[in-house]
Amino acid sequence: MKAFIIDRYGKKEVGRITEMPDPEVRDDDVLIRIHAASVNPLDSKIKGGEFKLILPYRVPLILGNDAAGTVTRVGARVRDFKPGDEVYARPDDDRIGTFAEFIAVKQSSVALKPRNLSMLEAASLPLAALTAWQTLVETAQLKKGQKVLIHAGSGGVGTIAIQLAKHLGAVVATTTSTANIAWMKALGADVVIDYKQQDFAAVLSGYDVVLNSLGNDELNKSLQVLKPGGHLVSISGPPTPVFAAERGLAWPLQQVMRMLSFGIRRRARKNGVEYTFVFMRADGAQLREITALVESGAIRPVVDKVFPFQDTHKALAYVDGGRAKGKVVVQML
């Protein structure tokens, strides 16, 4: 099959399309003919080697972390899917590779594609929507009437998180650039902070939850926004000892993460708030919950740009440039 691979780690590694072996289909796997896959910042971080300690991939490596397509084959133990089903998925993080013609994914990580979405739209959702669900619903347990700040509202995760938070009945604030203010309000944000003109920490206070996807400055300033008992959830780090233990990482790595997150954990405790690092995981059951929200109209995908498969390297570069509004999709079929 044709696939987009990297031959080595490195920020300057461009990647290339080549022939790779067809995926092995295990007994609990679904083999998917990929119609479309979306690009995530995670792809570039993996390509740059930032997750080598956590995710020890072998090169050559097929990139790509979510996709939509058609089931062509199922393993012997698969009961929930059959050939011809239209599905979408975020594969488990030890079996990524959606920038390809085919991928084998555990049936527990797959869900039927929302009926009201195209393949291109569906491909934009799994990783971003699961991240929003696992941070706001599972981790923060966001409730009706609570106040949540979602950083980088115009990004892939931000656009979905705003809609999910509004569906949950929360009061939503977000940060974005001047050009996106009206769009963020149309998406559902109650308060929009123009980070080029305003300091969010000087404007907001008494918040229950902050979802951080930015750097250390924003992470630390977010503590000022939270009320005592609030929850700072970060998907951009630093990772915590709890995260390291949950992933079964070696003791030395657990100590590294203890040191990396020591400062923010200490400041959070001093402020009477909780800090949690979330590294999203594949989950077909949660994707089914998301499907229901999409089909009801509570969540709609935001697709910025579509690239043909042969321009996958350009799609990655476009996302790296920070210009994307919502998601960027690679079309295979």
- What domains appear along the chain, each with residue ranges and CATH number? 2-124+302-331 (3.90.180.10), 128-277 (3.40.50.720)
Kindly state the tokens that stand for 231. 């929850």
Average pLDDT over residues 64-90: 98
Length of the chain: 333
Helix orientation angle between 262-270 and 251-260, rounded to the nearest 10 degrees: 50
pLDDT at 51 over 90: no
Q: Which of 155, 156, 163 is nearest to 187 (CA)?
A: 163
Predicted TM-score (pTM) of the model is 0.97
Bridge-based pairing of strands 303-308 and 207-212 is: unpaired
Structure confidence by residue, pLDDT tens digits, 225-249: 999 999 999 999 899 999 999 999 9
Residue 237, phi then psi, degrees to nearest 5: 95, 180
What pLDDT shows up at residue 244?
93
Structure confidence by residue, pLDDT tens digits, 304-321: 999 999 999 999 999 999
Q: Give 143's Cβ-side CA count (13 Å radius).
A: 3
Gyration radius from the chain CA atoms: 19
Cis peptide before 252 (omega within 30 of 0): no
pLDDT at 54 over 90: no
Structure confidence by residue, pLDDT tens digits, 138-177: 999 999 999 999 999 999 999 999 999 999 999 999 999 9
Structure confidence by residue, pLDDT tens digits, 255-266: 999 999 999 999
Q: Are 261 and 234 in contact (CB under 8 A)?
A: no
pLDDT at 327 over 90: yes
Label residue 323 by pLDDT band (50, 70, 90).
confident
**How does DSSP assign 69-128, residue by residue?**
EEEEEE-TT--S--TT-EEEE---TTS---SBSEEEEEGGGEEEPPTTS-HHHHHTSHHH
Label residue 92 by pLDDT band (50, 70, 90).
very high
- H helices of the chain, where? 41-47, 119-123, 126-132, 156-167, 181-187, 200-203, 216-225, 241-246, 251-260, 262-270, 284-296, 312-320
pLDDT at 333 over 90: no
Q: CA separation (Å) from 34 to 6, 22, 142, 170, 244?
A: 19, 13, 34, 36, 32
CA 54/CA 50 separation, integer angstroms: 9
Helix orientation angle between 216-225 and 262-270, rounded to the nearest 10 degrees: 10
